[in-house]
């Protein structure tokens, strides 16, 4: 399904096959960069069509879409225009400050800073944690856009790997709801591509549903059928995915 979409995504270089080292340091036989979709409007529109069709088939449709920055912002906007569902966006600053504080604390505890004043360093790290707003204060707003009381929110992202960022963004939406003194339900996540690396299972454990237009296995099979992927590369991808399923 959506063979034309996967062909277009490969042709613009949004998905590449070979040997790649990911940010995590792990090796992967493919690399996905869907952030470039906004530079190819026709492909972006086709991707949003596929995701909108997925929403139309949901038994319980969301009353709001929440784009996860930055890759999903153009996708969420395009889906919102097509479906008429209001769109909001989480802010990236809280997560940036949170990750910075965690990184500094880890470096300090490992001795990377040397024998400096521990009290002073701890004060700095605590201040950064406060700036994140994820401990109840700091950032004045976690979400941009109108969020209604009782809304059923669907997070929108380009792809899913481990689901860590999805769960963090659910926390941001829930924090914003508390700030506005309203109640919302973050029901799930919709993505264009599932990398099949544990994201589905992690979301289930967190009580959220995953709605993916396709898995990487399905995309690879489609490209093989179209003659845009050779048998050897397809087998490598299949083995890679299977290794994550064990």
> Is the model more confident about 109 or about 242?
242
- The answer, yes or no, to whether residue 82 has pLDDT greater than 70, is yes
In this predicted structure, what is the pLDDT of residue 70?
A: 87
The pLDDT tens digits of the residues spanning 9-50 come to 999 999 999 999 877 677 899 999 999 999 999 999 999 999
Q: Three-state SS for 212?
A: strand
In this predicted structure, what is the pLDDT of residue 141?
A: 82
The pLDDT tens digits of the residues spanning 128-154 come to 555 555 555 555 688 999 999 999 999
Contact 206, 167 (CB under 8 A): yes
**Minimum mean pLDDT among 78-82, 102-106, 224-228: which range?**
102-106
CA distance 184 to 142: 14
Contact 68, 96 (CB under 8 A): no
CA distance 198 to 203: 9
CA distance 112 to 67: 36
Considering the entire predicted model, what is its pTM? 0.84
The pLDDT tens digits of the residues spanning 199-226 come to 999 999 999 999 999 999 999 999 999 9
Question: Which helix (H) or strand (E) element contains residue 96?
Answer: helix 93-109
In this predicted structure, what is the pLDDT of residue 121?
A: 62
CA distance 37 to 30: 17
């Amino acid at each position: 399904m959506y063979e034309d979409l996967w062909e277009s995504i490969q042709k613009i270089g949004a998905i590449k096959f070979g040997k790649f080292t990911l940010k995590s340091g792990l090796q992967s036989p493919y690399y996905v960069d869907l952030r470039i979709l906004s530079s190819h409007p026709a492909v972006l529109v086709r991707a949003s069509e596929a995701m909108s069709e997925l929403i139309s088939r949901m038994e319980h449709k969301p009353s709001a879409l929440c784009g996860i920055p930055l890759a999903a912002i153009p996708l969420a906007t395009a889906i919102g225009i097509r479906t008429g569902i209001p769109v909001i966006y989480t802010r990236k600053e809280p997560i940036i400050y949170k990750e910075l504080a965690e990184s500094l604390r880890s470096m300090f505890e490992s001795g990377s800073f040397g024998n400096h004043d521990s009290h002073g360093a701890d004060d700095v790290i605590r201040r950064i944690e406060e700036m994140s707003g994820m401990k109840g204060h700091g950032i004045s707003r976690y979400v941009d856009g109108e969020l209604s009381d009782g809304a059923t929110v669907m997070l929108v992202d380009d792809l899913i790997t481990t689901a860590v960022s999805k769960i963090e963004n659910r926390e941001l939406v829930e924090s914003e709801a508390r700030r506005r003194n309203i109640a919302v339900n973050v029901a799930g996540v919709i993505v264009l591509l599932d990398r099949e690396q544990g994201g589905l299972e992690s979301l289930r454990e967190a009580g959220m549903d995953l709605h993916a237009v396709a898995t990487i296995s399905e995309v690879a099979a489609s490209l093989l059928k179209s003659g845009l992927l050779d048998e050897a590369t397809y087998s490598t991808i299949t083995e890679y995915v299977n290794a994550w399923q064990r």
